[in-house]
């Protein structure tokens, strides 16, 4: 687009047209009143700036009275300026108001771009989404955590959701999150993380997982460093999400078997887990930064530090590392060689995905040496 086209597009905007008309009225009225008043009233109209000052004071109905026309021609110009000025000011006010109202309406409908940084984007919707959002805010240590929802819920449904989280100032973008446009309107490039929920509000389990996979591929292809947390319904799709480079993958009812079996064989264990995993419970598990002075020192020293200084129980350490999986060496397309390697790995009981980028070391030996990039896992 060249300069001429840019100028034409700017001039076509209503507010610009009204503003230009206002400037034109001020300029023409200034020249006319100067023409009529210069000889008869030279003490007040000495130059064009005096007449511009008079025109502006008249248009805005300020009425200082420091400069006033006394000739018939000057007063006729003043009458025209009064009527035209009131009309133009009304148009300017109405145009500006309509811009803000239109912007607000578009924002409420999820059609407006949102300028946000270090925010969390939640794509998709199901019956667990509201609980997940509530838990994020409960666990968040940030006073002003920002969140944007992207989905295609009905306007009445999304308004109810936004009203519930009004105190958190949750924003909304309407659109298909497998496409770039809605993600760009949510300013995905400056987001902290993206959570992909199975879109069960519109799809069945299989189609919802397919959409999650497609969204992961789309996001990672454009923003490879952005953390993507994927929630899927079927465990079979986990390997595909790993190949799509999802950072974290959660499977529906992943721990249900363990919890049921534990409730039978280890009475009370599920109660302990419920207390720890309850965001509003007295005791919770969280990560905690390790003071730099403990790097290179033994685990038992760190254990005593958290116990004595913070009254925390140190459970272990966690570290984020870059790792390479077998999937990195496979071809980008679905070739015979890929299929052969996949088949042989499955026969050997091996997976295709990457190893976890987050390495957890629970209850290490007392003489374990604390590394530079590790954080403490503590029970508060």
Nearest to 25 by CA among 60, 66, 68: 60
Q: What is the mean pLDDT of the chain?
A: 83
Tell me: the pLDDT tens digits for 291-332? 999 999 999 999 999 999 988 999 999 987 665 455 554 544
Main-chain dihedrals φ then ψ at residue 121, nearest 5 degrees: -110, 125
Other Cβ atoms less than 10 A from the Cβ of 275: the count is: 12
Q: What is the pLDDT of residue 178?
A: 93
Is residue 376's pLDDT more than 50? Answer: yes
* 136 contacts 145 by C-beta, under 8 angstroms: yes
Tell me the CB-side half-sphere exposure of residue 227, using CA atoms within 13 A. 13
Q: What is the pLDDT of residue 357?
A: 67
Q: What is the pLDDT of residue 192?
A: 92
Reported confidence tier of residue 210, pLDDT bands at 50, 70, 90 = very high
Quote the CA–CA distance of 88 and 274 in Å, as a whole number: 66
Tell me: the pLDDT tens digits for 112-138? 888 888 999 999 999 889 999 998 988
Quote the CA–CA distance of 295 and 304 in Å, as a whole number: 15
In this chain, the answer to whether the domains covering 3-108 and 114-254 adopt an identical fold is no
Mean pLDDT of 11-40: 83
CATH pick for 114-254 out of 1.10.10.10, 3.40.50.720, 3.40.50.700, 3.40.30.10: 3.40.50.720
Nearest to 244 by CA among 232, 259, 263, 228: 228
User: According to the CATH classification, is domain 3-108 in 1.20.120.160?
Assistant: no
Residue 99's alpha-carbon distances to 52, 104, 105, 186, in angstroms, are 29, 9, 10, 21
Per-domain boundaries in the chain:
3-108, 114-254
Q: What is the pLDDT of residue 355?
A: 44
């Amino acid at each position: 687009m060249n300069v001429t086209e840019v100028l034409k597009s700017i001039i076509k905007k209503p507010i610009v047209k009204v503003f230009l008309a206002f400037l034109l009225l001020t300029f023409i009225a200034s020249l006319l009143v100067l023409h009529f008043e210069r000889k008869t009233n030279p003490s007040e109209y000495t130059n064009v700036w005096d007449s511009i000052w008079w025109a502006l004071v008249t248009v805005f109905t300020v009425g200082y009275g420091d400069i006033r026309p006394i000739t018939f021609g000057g007063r006729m110009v003043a009458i025209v300026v009064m009527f035209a000025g009131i009309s133009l000011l009304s148009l300017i006010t109405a145009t500006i108001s309509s811009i803000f109202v239109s912007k607000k309406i578009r924002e409420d409908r999820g059609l407006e771009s949102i300028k946000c940084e270090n925010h969390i984007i939640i794509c998709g919707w199901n019956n667990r989404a509201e609980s997940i959002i509530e838990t994020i805010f409960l666990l968040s240590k940030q006073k002003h955590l920002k969140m944007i929802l992207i989905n295609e819920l009905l306007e009445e449904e999304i308004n109810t959701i936004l009203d519930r989280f009004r105190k958190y100032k949750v924003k909304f973008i309407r659109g298909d999150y497998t496409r770039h446009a809605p993600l760009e309107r949510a300013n995905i490039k400056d987001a902290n993380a993206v959570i992909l929920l199975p879109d069960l509000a519109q799809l069945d389990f299989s189609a919802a997982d397919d959409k999650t996979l497609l969204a992961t591929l789309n996001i990672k292809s454009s923003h490879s460093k952005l953390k993507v947390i994927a929630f899927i319904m079927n465990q079979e799709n986990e390997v595909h999400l790993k190949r799509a480079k999802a950072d974290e993958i959660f499977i529906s009812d992943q721990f249900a078997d363990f919890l049921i079996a534990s409730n039978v064989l280890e009475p009370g264990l599920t109660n302990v887990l419920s207390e720890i995993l309850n965001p509003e419970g007295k005791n919770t598990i969280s990560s905690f930064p390790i003071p730099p002075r403990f790097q290179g020192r033994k685990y038992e020293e760190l254990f005593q530090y958290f116990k004595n200084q913070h009254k925390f129980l140190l459970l272990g350490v966690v570290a984020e590392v870059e790792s390479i999986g077998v999937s990195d060496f496979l071809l980008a397309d679905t070739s015979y060689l890929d299929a052969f390697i996949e088949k042989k790995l499955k026969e050997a009981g091996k997976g295709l995905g990457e190893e976890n980028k987050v390495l957890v070391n629970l209850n290490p030996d007392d003489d374990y040496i604390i590394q530079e990039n590790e954080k403490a896992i503590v029970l508060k």
